[in-house]
Amino acid sequence: MKVIDTFGLQHNEWVKMMYSKRKLWAETFLQITFFGGLRSTQRSESINSFLNQFFHSYVKLYEFMSHIDRPMSCLRNNKLKDDFDCINEHPVLVTHLLQLEKHDVEVYTRNTFGRVRDEIKSEAKLSIVNCIDDVESVMYTFRKFAGSDKTWNVRYTPSKNIFKCSCKMFETIGIPCCHSFSVMKAMNMHHIHETLIMQRWTINAKDVSKQNVLYASMSTEGYKEANVAIDKLTIQINGLLPSSSTSREENVHRTSKQLTVQVKDPVLAATKGSMR
Ligand SMILES: [Zn+2]
């Protein structure tokens, strides 16, 4: 607002348009939105960078189609290697919270494991400066040892095992933050609680979704049943979301659209690739 007043932009069309869409871009409104650690165009840039290793700008479209198998094979090979490493690699435990790190190894994929382990390591730098115990929950306040005056608050509700940290790491990235680990240490927990484990980052994430889709696609009845159950679950999960920038109807609509793509109709799938 100060910038707008300083430069006299109260009637500028572009400023008005951007202000009307502020919930889509301003960080304040996006703090509790899940992005999985991705920022802006990172995903497409990553794919571009990968494809640049195999193609140059003079490649014709028909050449591209005949050579696309190579990068695809490479991606599939990387995926298989990651799966193999997840099952067979056993990282050495190095942090001060061995039980929690051990659970980290057992639950998460190797990539996510490293990020969660960094949070466990960071926990060592924190100290509890305040603890307020009310009837239903406990509020912990943390400060970094020998750091600035910045503090973080974690509200822990023992009856529901809910951790709410002011840093919003779990809400935006999906992994527990160092402050939540500090609460787990204070509560003498030996496992990362399931309310802090996002299924999509776990070793079993793919298996669960694969099974659902496989069984649903084996019969028309199964497909319809799955869609009804998923719609119910979507509405139920949506009810757990805080009333954030996106409306509930918008979320349900978007999710049901995505699910239609993921769970294929078996009748249509049977005709795929057949002669016409
Ligand atoms: Zn936190």
Could you read off the pLDDT of 24-62 as tens digits, one per residue? 888 777 777 787 777 667 677 788 888 888 888 888 888
For residue 86, give the nearest of 214, 205, 211, 209 by alpha carbon. Answer: 205
What spacing in Å lies between the alpha carbon of 166 and ligand 1's midpoint?
6
What spacing in Å lies between the alpha carbon of 185 and ligand 1's midpoint?
14
Phi, psi of 54 (to 5 degrees): -110, -25
What spacing in Å lies between the alpha carbon of 114 and ligand 1's midpoint?
17
Q: What is the 3-state secondary structure (H, E, C) of 177-208?
A: CHHHHHHHHHCCCCCCCHHHCCHHHECCHHHH
What spacing in Å lies between the alpha carbon of 46 and ligand 1's midpoint?
28
Beta bridge partners of 152: 142
- Domain boundaries along the sequence of the chain: 42-88, 98-201, 205-270
Q: How confident is the model at residue 263 (pLDDT cuts 50, 70, 90)?
A: low
Beta bridge partners of 139: 132, 155
What spacing in Å lies between the alpha carbon of 165 and ligand 1's midpoint?
5
- Detail the DSSP E strand segments found in 93-161: 126-133, 138-144, 151-157
What spacing in Å lies between the alpha carbon of 182 and ligand 1's midpoint?
9
What spacing in Å lies between the alpha carbon of 193 and ligand 1's midpoint?
15
Ligand 1 ion: nearby residues, β-carbon < 5 Å: 165, 167, 177, 179
What spacing in Å lies between the alpha carbon of 89 and ligand 1's midpoint?
29
**Mean of per-residue pLDDT scores for the chain:** 82
What spacing in Å lies between the alpha carbon of 18 and ligand 1's midpoint?
30
Residue 254 has pLDDT above 70, yes or no: no
* pLDDT for res 156: 93
What spacing in Å lies between the alpha carbon of 94 and ligand 1's midpoint?
22
Q: 227 CB contacts (<8 Å, ≥6 apart)?
A: 216, 259, 260, 263
Tell me the HSE value of 185 on the side-chain side, using a 13 A CA sphere: 22
Average pLDDT, integer, range 1-15? 85
What spacing in Å lies between the alpha carbon of 240 and ligand 1's midpoint?
20
Tokens 């001060």 belong to residue: 96
